Amino acid sequence: MVEGVQDADAVFFLGYHARTGDSDGVGNETILGREIVEIRMNGKPVGESEINAAVCGQFGVPVVFASGDDLYEKELRQTLPDVEFGLTKFALDRWTARCLSPERSHANIRAAAQSAVERAAAGEFRAYSLEGPVALSVTFSSTAEALMAALVPGSVRETPRIVTYTARNAVDAWKGFFALLLLGWRATDEVYG
């Protein structure tokens, strides 16, 4: 999702959503779908935003703007408290929201984006970077998924449903972890999970 970030000055997360399992945020999921119960990075529950921010941070690139629903904003501010945010809707559950009018939503996005660019130019943002090894863990919905995912060299099956991949930095951790997710996903059974 952040391919080419090494050439960027700042990053926008436009139209993102809450992570799986932690809120009633609209469209809450992380990377895949029902196969994933939770993802953790260095022991902390994370979604796509935190993982992508860590990858960006490895290249010294800050995330300066995000947009989405109110529950996503609340979640994101735990990791990126200073990000500019364009609110588009209020989450009621995974599939339902009280949406702002398109005009109001566009105005919120425009204002937050403008402020983000101005603040970034003034050097007000710092990249989100992780020191030392980065461990990404997934709790799968099924033991079959975890068993298959654990075939990735360097992965560790922590429990029957949790598999962890650890690397020296966020980019290397992401690469191994993504392979692990894709392999685990292939073991999903449409009837039994």
Q: Where are the domains of the chain?
A: 5-37+46-121, 134-185
Average pLDDT over residues 14-19: 89
User: What is the C-alpha separation between 178 and 164, in angstroms, rounded?
Assistant: 11
Quote the pLDDT of residue 191: 63
Quote the pLDDT of residue 192: 65
Average pLDDT over residues 55-71: 96
Q: Could you tell me what percent of the chain has a pLDDT over 90?
A: 77
Amino acid (1-letter code) at residue 152: V
* pLDDT band at residue 158 under the 50/70/90 scheme: very high
155-157 and 96-99 beta bridge pairing: unpaired
φ, ψ dihedrals at 126, nearest 5°: -120, 145
Average pLDDT over residues 103-131: 97
Torsion of CA 56, 133, 180, 36, to 10 degrees: -70
Quote the pLDDT of residue 115: 98
pLDDT at 193 over 60: no
The secondary element (H helix, E strand) that includes residue 155 is: strand 155-157
CATH of span 134-185: 3.30.1360.130
Quote the pLDDT of residue 125: 97
Average pLDDT over residues 100-120: 98
pLDDT at 27 over 90: no
pLDDT at 30 over 90: no
- Average pLDDT over all residues of the chain: 92
Average pLDDT over residues 108-128: 97
16 with 86: CB under 8 angstroms? no
Which architecture characterizes domain 5-37+46-121 according to CATH? 3-Layer(aba) Sandwich (3.40)
**9-37 exposure pattern, b = at least 16 Cβ within 10 A, e = fewer:** ebbbbeebbbbbeebebbbbbbbbeebbe
Q: What is the pTM of this model?
A: 0.91
| Alpha helix ranges (H) inside 25-158 | 48-58, 70-76, 102-121, 143-149
Cβ contacts of 98 within 8 Å, gap of 6 or more? 89, 90, 92
